[in-house]
Structure formats: structure tokens, C-alpha cells
Amino acid sequence: MSEWTRHDLLDLKELSKEEIEMVLQTAKSFKEVSARDVKKVPALRGKTVAMLFFEPSTRTRVSFELAAKRLSADTISIAISNSSLNKGETIIDTAKNIEAMNVDLLVVRHSCAGVPHILAENVGSSIINAGDGCRSHPTQALLDLFTIKEKLGKIEGLNVAIIGDILHSRVARSNIWGLKKLGANVTVCGPSTLMPVGIERMGVNVSYNVNDVIKTADVLMLLRLQMERQKDKFLPSIREYAKSFGINSSKLKDAKKDLVIMHPGPTNRGVELSAEIADGKYSVILDQVTNGLAIRMAVLYLLLGTKEQAPVSG
């Protein structure tokens, strides 16, 4: 594949293996830009990127904003609580009004699955899904793929275990789509009450025993308990969950020596992982954040850059 043709980035489900690899390759060039003294290239000079975050975010929002700035694009952040959405304007009308000011791309996060897709059908600006409900978080999965490849040199054939609240996790879904396309063996592991019915149809193994999956795993991808999305009582207690599924050093005694432990953040120390694991030798949590910036630069560049603009010319 030699050319990027997509106008939006909504899901990893729709991307081919070649498209995913193209993002990872482009991100590799952009990672070097952020290590320079002058962390800026003119690739998107004259373009405007707007952030529409209807849900809290630290990593994704800061990362997209920095990525756009490092590519020399102008950025605006819509303060949702102070916007005319509070006066009854629809989200589509809000997006159309932003587009009317010649904004080139909207980065959208929303608690309802499908909102970025609806906006993509209704506005001409490019849309990036920065997380929609329990459905999809494509740039998170891309940065996770990038990090695995960086740490272990490949993705094909690796045993990746995704552990935790699979039911409510857009990170799990996006990673399953991406990891399967790149040839990994994926196991999902968590309490039965937090396991989606029919998840096997996504081509994954299912386990309810974390000690079993640790023995063969190359990568453990830990997920936060999504309490804000749990409308029913899915667990006897957080303490019980931490005891059965939380990762600590005693659970890792039979783990592979070069195990990689990932977490998309925000982490709940003492719940899905202990502090010593979060800060320990297996953890690549902050590398994921660093790589997220390179991935978002790559995605913005591929969606908005023109052929004449070299990706990393200074």
C-alpha cells in the first residue's frame, strides 16, 4: 500500500493490515521529532484541528493537542460546558458550525457509541474518534500496537492477554481488532460478569483465571474497571476483584522474563495492578503515553497532510 486514502479514523475494524502498518511506520518517523530540541515540523501549517471532548480525558486530549501543535496546525478546544449545546443546540449543528469556520478536522470523544460516526456522516471536516462509549478507541490501540512492536520487535505470533473489565472497554475492542489483524493470539480474561456474551466470535480465547494466562503471555494489557459505565453491580467488591485479577509481583512468579505490562490509563493502583508493578521493570505505561503522541501526529498527518509536505522536514 503506497497511499493513504481515508478521510476519517473511526474504528480499527475498518482498517486493513496495510493501513495499520502505514500508521505505525509514519509514527516511527514522527517519534524522532519529539526528541529534538525544536519539537516542531511544518507538515500541517495552515490547518486547524478542533477538540470536542464530551467526556474527561488527560492523555488523549493533551496528546492530540500537542501532536497538532508539533505539526504546526492551529488548535481549538471546545469547552463543552460553556458551549451552546447547553442551550439546546444539537451536536450535529455544533459540529456544522465549527466546520463553517473552516476547521479541517474534529477530534471527538463521547460517552455514546457512534457519535463520531454520526458526525462523519454529517460534516465535511475529517473526524477522529478519540473514544466513543464502550465501542472504540482507535488511536489507543494504534499506540499499543506501536509499543508492543517497539518492545518485542513484532506482533505476529505473540500471546497477548487483555485483563479486566472487557464488557465496558473500548480499548479492549479496538485492540482485539488491531492485534488480530497483525497476527497476535489474543486471550481476554476477567470476571464472568464483565465478559461480553459471544466475545469468542472476535477470534479471541476466553479465560477466567489470570494465573493461567500469565504463564504463557508475552504481553499483559490491564484495563481499568469502568465504574462510570457499570450501571449494575457486576462485582462483589473492588477488593475481591483486586485479589482475583489485580496483578502483583507474587502473581508474576511464573511469567516470561521479557513480559510487557501495559495499561491505557488512568490506572487504579492497588486495583488492577500494584504500585510496584505500575512502576516496575515490566511496565511500559509511560512509553505508551510517549508513543501516543507519535501515533496521533501520524494519524493527523495522514488525514490532513498533502503529498507535497514531507513528514519530518524541519
Residues of the shown chain interacting with ligand CP in the complex, contacts defined by CB under 6 A: 57-61, 131, 140, 264-266
H helical segments located in the chain: 17-34, 59-70, 91-99, 115-122, 138-152, 170-181, 210-216, 238-245, 275-278, 285-304
Shortest reach from residue 100's CB to ligand CP, in Å: 28
Shortest reach from residue 128's CB to ligand CP, in Å: 13
* Residue 306 neighbours by CB under 8 Å, 6+ apart: none
Q: Using the minimum distance from each CB to ligand CP, give the nearer residue, 99 or 132.
A: 132
The span from the CA of 303 to the CA of 296, in Å, is 11
- Cβ-closest residue to ligand CP? 60
Beta-ladder partners of 247: 273
Q: Using the minimum distance from each CB to ligand CP, give the nearer residue, 13 or 59.
A: 59
Q: Using the minimum distance from each CB to ligand CP, give the nearer residue, 57 or 72.
A: 57
Shortest reach from residue 217's CB to ligand CP, in Å: 21
User: 264: which 3 cell numbers?
Assistant: 491505557
Q: Using the minimum distance from each CB to ligand CP, give the nearer residue, 41 or 299.
A: 299
Q: Using the minimum distance from each CB to ligand CP, give the nearer residue, 127 or 252.
A: 127
Beta-ladder partners of 187: 161, 205
* Residue 108 neighbours by CB under 8 Å, 6+ apart: 52, 53, 54, 115, 116, 119, 127, 128, 129, 130, 132
Shortest reach from residue 195's CB to ligand CP, in Å: 21
Shortest reach from residue 224's CB to ligand CP, in Å: 9
